[in-house]
Each structure stands twice: as C-alpha cells, then as structure tokens.
Structure 1
Amino acid sequence: MIKKCEACKDGVEFPFELRTAFQPIVDVESARPYSYEALVRGSTGQTAGEILSCVTEETRYAFDQACRVNAIRDAVKAGLLETDAKLSVNFLPSAVYSPMACLRLTLQTAVETGMPTSRLIFEFTENQRLDTVHVREILRAYRSLGFTTAIDDFGNGHAGLGLLADLATDALKLDMHLIRNIDTCSRRPTIVKSVIELCRELDVLLVAEGIETEAEFETLKNLGIRYMQGHLFAAPEIGVLPTIDLRMTERLAAA
C-alpha cells in the first residue's frame, strides 16, 4: 500500500497536455449506449500506450488525477448529461494512496460540472500484481459515494479469478484476447460461457470489449452477453460522444 504521495504534497504536474477520447459501451437489447469509456490521448496524437510509457513514479498521481478531471469535464462538454449513459473512467490503484483524499478533486469536478456520482463508473487494471487489501479499501470508499466499480481486462495478466474472488466489484470487462476470433475457436465460447454464469451468480454486470467483427458479435449475443464495446459499434473519438454505427443500430433494433 502506498503510504504517501510526494506528488500530491509538492503539486507535481504531468509534463504534457492530455485529451480524452470516448467509445460507447452498447446495451445490445436497447441499441443504446450504456456508458462511454474515457480513453486518454495526447494533444499531438499520442496513443494511450505511448502516454502510459511516459508515466513515472513521480508523475503517477498527477497523471491519474488529470485523466479523471479531463474525462468528467470533456464528457459533460460533449453532452453526456443530455443522455442516459454513464461515464467509465480508468484509474490506477497504485496512484491512490488514500481513497478519500485522492477523491477530493474528482468530487469537486463532479460538483462543478453537475455530474452525479451515480453516473460514474471507475474501472481498474494494473500490469503488476495488486495489493488486494488496498484495492478493497478503494472500492469500499467509491461505493459509499455512489460510484460503480469494475475490473477491466478480465482474463488477462493479473485480472483473473483470484481477483474476482477477492474484490467485489459491480462489473467486469472481458479482455479482448478472449473475444478475438471467438466465432472460430472451440475453447473461447466455453470459457466465456463459464464467466457469464459466474457473473450471473455473483450479480456482476459483464461487458465484452474489443469486438471487431459481426461474427464475434453474433457469437457473444447468442451466448447471452448484453453489454458490448468495440470498433464494430464505434471507434473512439476525441472530444465527442461517437454514435453507434448505423448498420449495427438497425441490426440491433431488428434483433
């Protein structure tokens, strides 16, 4: 667990400007966005991977805070509050040294922009093994304030069954590795079907991410997945809330 954050105390800022792209998570039953995920981008076109490679121990806190604030402000500016959709924001558990202290700026931004806490989903994932005691404290604090919480990239790296057993989140997102070519692989549908049953038993909302083909979509729909995300529906766009591809909207409406 992080005991203190020098960046917070000393006011360290992230060294370059960040922008926010949005991609819808689609409720395939209603053919409407359930939420929009906020994805970090650089002001000169840097990808999320390029930006994350620049995050250091000294700038981790400032980066995490900037992403949260930008996501909320940019979503409101893009018209999120004029829809029924939620906003999904990624966060780094290792950047949170004290759940309530690190939420002050997030809550202040939400109040200033009129964003209800009930409209915010916080997704977490880490490349390294998580301190589950610390993350459990974070989730408890977030839930007490009305936030929804989610495990991102489930099925990849350290985001596996052990994490699901230790941390009671409201939702989880299946990693795109499990989704890719699910229509032609005999093993992936069986694995995903098992996760669907687990989520049903645990009352956890399940999202499939990284969907690129209609065959993947059809397979997942037939397995019973209601919430989906991927380029098949809409590519991320900076500063605006993308509309779902018209072809997919018509197909969902006819289903």
Structure 2
Amino acid sequence: MAFQPIFDLSTGSIFAQEALVRGPAFEPPSEVFAEVTEENRYNFDQLCRTRAIECAAELGLDGALSINFLPNAVYEPAHCIRRTLWAADKADFPPENLIFEFTEGEQIRSTDHLLAIVSEYRRHGFRIAIDDFGAGFAGLGLLADLQPDILKLDMHLIRGIESSPARRSIVRATLRICSDLGILAVAEGIETPEELDEVADLGVHLVQGYLIARPSTGRLVQAHEISAGITEMMRLIG
C-alpha cells in the first residue's frame, strides 16, 4: 500500500493521505485492478480497506485517510461497513478520519444503491469524495444527487490548464458549483509549476500530484517537505 498526500495550499498542511493499491512486488494499480473479477471484487474491496487502515495506523497517521472503494462491490452497505469499522477499531484509528472515494470511471449500476451506500457511510461519520470528476460516466447528474463532501477534478482537466481557456472555464464553473453546494474541490494530477499556479489562481486550495509529492511506501510525506519543495521550485523558476 502506498500513500500520496493531498496538500492544503492555504494552510501549508496535509489535508489527507490517499491510500493507493500496489501489488506484492509494487506493481502499479492498473496491473492489480486487471486481476479483479466479479467473483473476487467484494473480497478485494474489503481487503484494500482493511490494509489501508492498518498501514496508515502503523505509519502513525493522525489525520484524514482517503480510501478508494468499489461501489459495485458493496452488496449491502450496513454489512459491508462492519469489517471497515472493525479494522479501524482494532488499529485504534478514528473512523471519523476516513474519507471514501469512488471513481467516476466506474460505471454505476444503480444510483439508488450508491445513494444508499453513501447514506450508510455518512451515518458513521465518514466523508465521501468523487474521484476523477470530468473523466467518467456520472457527471453533473450524480453530483446533484450525491452532493459529496469532496470533488476531485480529473487530471485531464488540469493538464495544460494554464494554456487552455476551455479547461479554465470548465474548472471555474465547477468550482462555482462546489462553492454553492459546500463541496471541497481538489485538483489532482498536478505535474508542473504552471498547473499549480493556475489552479491556485482559480481558487483551488487542495492539490495532489507528482509535483506535490509522489506516492510513497513505508513512510508518510510530511507537510514541511512539500512546503520546502514548492518554495524551492518557485525560487528556481523565478
């Protein structure tokens, strides 16, 4: 399991650490997910959650932990959440620090079922995030139905945003919607100083990507490391 921070530009602190799946030999997520089938989807989802909580606790995470989950693997929300709560209790990890992300790239079979999952998770104090917004199947309809706590703007909206009026307009409009609905926006996949500058100018405070910090195993990247890196980078580019 690897961890990549979401950094808050406005406070210079870590907003959350996202748990990212890696294979036994640190294979990338694409190779791991290629092995997921209908038969093993539920067990895979449950194992990833449990391992993410265990690893975060072992590394001393005292803030928010963001975990990706597969909505289509959750057949009965109240039952499926028990193992997560058990893992959090066993690791002495506060359940209110958990954020559950689902990717817009996974086609949702039933919106009603997803809303039932979200309702049950919120009943336990978990926050909900939509990942890869702007790249998948759901779009504005699901955003209106779900009204997540956090919306992660897909990297394809961020890539080259400093030279793309269309991307800036789309992101600006999405941020306005987020503001109206009380949703926190995260710009993910930031890879260049220009992209970071642009999203900051647009009012995005929460950022994630290789420019901020690469996923790490065995340790958690700290806020002072990110702040120092950004300061040095800005100094070098003038």
Q: What is the aligned partner in structure 1 of residue 35 from structure 2?
A: 54
Counterpart amino acid of 1:193?
Answer: R
- Structure 1 regions of 5+ residues with no counterpart? 1-19
Change (3 A) 1:202 1:108: same
What SS class does the counterpart of residue 115 from structure 1 fall into? coil
Counterpart amino acid of 2:21?
Answer: V
Q: How far apart, in 2, do the equivalents of 1:109 and 1:181 lie? A: 40
Q: In the alignment, is the contact (CA less than 8 A) between 1:37 and 1:87 conserved in 2?
A: yes
How many residue pairs align between the two structures?
230
What SS class does the counterpart of residue 138 from structure 1 fall into? helix
Q: What is the aligned partner in structure 2 of residue 29 from structure 1?
A: 10
Counterpart amino acid of 1:147?
Answer: F
Give the TM-score normalised by structure 2. Answer: 0.93
Q: What is the aligned partner in structure 1 of residue 83 from structure 2?
A: 105
Per-residue CA shift, 1:93-122, capped at 9, x if unaligned? 000000010011100010111111110000
Residue 232 (structure 2) pairs with residue 247 (structure 1): no
Per-residue CA shift, 1:166-193, capped at 9, x if unaligned? 2121111000010000011111011100
Q: In the alignment, is the contact (CA less than 8 A) between 1:27 and 1:228 conserved in 2?
A: yes
Counterpart amino acid of 2:190?
Answer: I
Q: What is the aligned partner in structure 2 of residue 10 from structure 1?
A: none
The 5 Å alignment of 1:209-248 reads: 209-243=188-222, 244-245=225-226, 246-248=228-230
Q: How far apart, in 1, do the equivalents of 2:175 and 2:97 lie? A: 24
Q: In the alignment, is the contact (CA less than 8 A) between 2:71 and 2:108 conserved in 1?
A: no
Q: How far apart, in 2, do the equivalents of 1:43 and 1:211 lie? A: 27
Q: What is the aligned partner in structure 1 of residue 95 from structure 2?
A: 117
Q: How far apart, in 2, do the equivalents of 1:166 and 1:158 lie? A: 14
Counterpart amino acid of 1:124?
Answer: F
Q: What is the aligned partner in structure 1 of residue 125 from structure 2?
A: 146
Change (3 A) 1:111 1:250: farther
Counterpart amino acid of 2:230?
Answer: M
Q: CA deviation at 1:128?
A: 1.9
| CA RMSD of superposed structures (Å) | 1.4
Q: CA deviation at 1:86?
A: 0.4
Q: How far apart, in 2, do the equivalents of 1:161 and 1:64 lie? A: 26
The 5 Å alignment of 1:81-92 reads: 81=62, 85-92=63-70
The 5 Å alignment of 1:4-83 reads: 20-81=1-62
What SS class does the counterpart of residue 57 from structure 1 fall into? coil
- Structure 2 regions of 5+ residues with no counterpart? none
Name whichever of 86-95 and 233-242 sits farther off.
Answer: 233-242
What SS class does the counterpart of residue 153 from structure 1 fall into? strand
Name whichever of 123-132 and 23-32 sits farther off.
Answer: 123-132
Q: In the alignment, is the contact (CA less than 8 A) between 1:75 and 1:239 conserved in 2?
A: no
What SS class does the counterpart of residue 71 from structure 1 fall into? helix
What SS class does the counterpart of residue 122 from structure 1 fall into? strand
Residue 137 (structure 2) pairs with residue 158 (structure 1): yes
Q: How far apart, in 1, do the equivalents of 2:152 and 2:69 lie? A: 14
Give the TM-score normalised by structure 1. Answer: 0.87
Q: How far apart, in 2, do the equivalents of 1:219 and 1:185 lie? A: 10
Q: What is the aligned partner in structure 2 of residue 192 from structure 1?
A: 171
Q: What is the aligned partner in structure 2 of residue 205 from structure 1?
A: 184
What SS class does the counterpart of residue 191 from structure 1 fall into? helix
Q: In the alignment, is the contact (CA less than 8 A) between 1:31 and 1:249 conserved in 2?
A: no
Counterpart amino acid of 2:58?
Answer: K
